[in-house]
Amino acid sequence: MARASDPPEGAERRRTPRKRTAKLTMRMGVGYDSHRFGPGNAVRLGGVSIPHDRALTGHSDADAIAHAVTDALLGAAGEGDIGSMFPDTDPANRLRDSIEMLALAMAHLRDRGWRANNVDVTVIAELPRIAPYREAMRDALAAALNLARASVSVKGKTNEGMGWIGRGEGIACIAVATVVPVAS
Ligand code: MG
């Protein structure tokens, strides 16, 4: 016989009391950057100088990986972008080391209560080849972000010869980053 305390027919009975769960706030951001090739003998990517028959041109050292990662982290925290933090109208940013800018952006996020959780980067370039420099890039990025190498991923892709990347006019980079509260 049904009792008054029974759930209505068809309703799911809750077998265990609802647990209090710790609230984890993780936020994700995406960053994109591209730079054009110009005269030179090395490209700077992910804090690593790679010998090449051209260089990437830009106001700073044109490190597209560092720029995309910076934007991904700033985006994750809702803290603007690299252009607003390091304007190219400021002479101090000319030829500036982009890993230094990344570290400064990370310090700003820490002041706001965030730490980096992980970073994943894809570089799209016909040349130079990324793979031989991947581990050095992971180390440079991880050091700037106070992360373990295992939390930083760098991958290289060609554009299969298509479009401006395929013609070797420049390279592009996409980064995704997650941040979590410093206390977690
Ligand atoms: Mg850039």
Q: 152-161: per-residue pLDDT in tens?
A: 999 999 999 9
pLDDT level of residue 7 (50, 70, 90 thresholds)? low
- Residues 128, 53 contacting (CB under 8 angstroms): no
Record the pTM.
0.87
Q: Tell me how far the alpha carbon of residue 35 lies from the centroid of ligand 1, in angstroms.
A: 6
**For 8-16, what is the mean pLDDT?**
60
For the chain, domain boundaries:
27-181
- Residues 154, 124 contacting (CB under 8 angstroms): no
pLDDT level of residue 63 (50, 70, 90 thresholds)? very high
Which one is the CATH code of 27-181: 3.30.1330.50, 3.30.300.30, 3.20.20.70, 3.30.930.10? 3.30.1330.50
Q: How far apart are CA 53 and CA 88, in angstroms?
A: 26
Q: Tell me how far the alpha carbon of residue 18 lies from the centroid of ligand 1, in angstroms.
A: 48
Per 3-state DSSP, the chain is made up of helix, strand and coil in percentages (nearest 5) of 30, 30, 40
Q: Tell me how far the alpha carbon of residue 136 lies from the centroid of ligand 1, in angstroms.
A: 20
Q: Tell me how far the alpha carbon of residue 183 lies from the centroid of ligand 1, in angstroms.
A: 31
Q: Tell me how far the alpha carbon of residue 17 lies from the centroid of ligand 1, in angstroms.
A: 52
pLDDT level of residue 131 (50, 70, 90 thresholds)? very high
**For 38-62, what is the mean pLDDT?**
96
Q: Tell me how far the alpha carbon of residue 62 lies from the centroid of ligand 1, in angstroms.
A: 5
Closest residue by Cα to residue 116 from 71, 146, 140? 146
Q: Tell me how far the alpha carbon of residue 106 lies from the centroid of ligand 1, in angstroms.
A: 17
